[in-house]
């Protein structure tokens, strides 16, 4: 699993950097949507299924075994979901009042995307099953390249210097690898802190729920494309894949 997770770090970092490279050398006058709708739809279904079937149940069981009978797993997931949604609403308010070239919006976008990039990595790092880890990796890669490209466009539209823009993008680029390392470490060397694993799993589950439903608000897969049955079938397919995988994990 360590070999697989190290390979995942290299793959995710490569996709992130290569996807965000172009906007640093070409100015975009407007936010251009760059995505593969089918891949995004499949990833949304995977995110939903991983959160609901794999992560929340396991985290809840771990809390229970540690004699915490309050549903902390669901509480933490809900807090994460609402916090990410709050950040997105704040970002929309900044765009309305200051425009999308505002430095504040660039920083907020970096913070928000870095947060769920870190938690996505933690979810992959925490995976003890190779089959689950492979599907999570696929979902991350399907989602990551478009997110990286969009963030690079956004921070390059700001009034910051090139050096500052690079710093913001580098912070974002390192978050998923850092999450993978921390998640993997938590499962192998931090046995003295048994609460860490269910806490990270719950937070990551909230992130996956958000990515599978409201990420991007009106452009979210389950909002913009919910009436496009061809895309929605791929959401269902992604969900079913992880539901089937649960039979053996």
Return the residue matching tokens 């890669």: 141
Distance separating alpha carbons of residues 64 and 226, to the nearest angstrom: 36
Task: Give the DSSP letter of residue 248.
Answer: G
Tens digits of residue pLDDT in 95-153: 887 776 778 888 898 998 899 899 889 889 888 788 888 888 888 887 787 788 888 88
Q: Are 16 and 173 in contact (CB under 8 A)?
A: yes
Please tell me the number of Cα atoms within 13 Å of 249 on its side-chain side: 20
Show the tokens assigned to 102.
Answer: 């505002």
Tens digits of residue pLDDT in 8-36: 999 999 989 888 887 777 655 444 444 56
Return all residues near 53 (Cβ < 8 A) that are at least 6 apart: 242, 243, 246
């Amino acid at each position: 699993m360590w070999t697989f997770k190290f390979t995942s770090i290299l793959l995710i970092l490569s996709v992130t950097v290569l996807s965000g490279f172009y906007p640093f050398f070409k100015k975009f006058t407007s936010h251009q949507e760059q995505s593969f709708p089918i891949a995004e739809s499949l990833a949304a279904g995977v995110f939903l299924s991983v959160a609901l079937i794999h992560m929340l149940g396991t985290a809840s069981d771990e809390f229970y075994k540690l004699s915490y009978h309050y549903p902390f797993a669901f509480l933490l997931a809900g807090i994460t979901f609402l916090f990410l949604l709050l950040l997105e609403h704040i970002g929309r308010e900044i765009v309305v009042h200051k425009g999308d070239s505002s430095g504040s919006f660039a920083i907020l976008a970096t913070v928000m995307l870095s947060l769920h990039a870190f938690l996505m990595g933690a979810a992959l790092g925490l995976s003890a099953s190779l089959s689950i880890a492979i599907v999570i990796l696929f979902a991350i890669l399907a989602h990551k390249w478009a997110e990286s490209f969009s963030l690079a466009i956004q921070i390059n539209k700001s009034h910051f210097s090139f050096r500052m823009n690079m710093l913001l993008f580098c912070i974002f680029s390192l978050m998923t690898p850092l999450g993978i390392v921390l998640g993997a470490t938590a499962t192998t060397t931090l046995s003295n802190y048994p609460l860490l694993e269910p806490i990270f799993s719950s937070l990551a589950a909230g992130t996956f729920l958000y990515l599978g439903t409201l990420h991007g608000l009106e452009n979210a897969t389950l909002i913009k494309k919910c009436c496009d049955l061809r895309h929605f079938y791929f959401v269902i397919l992604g969900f079913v894949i992880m539901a089937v995988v649960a039979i053996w994990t």
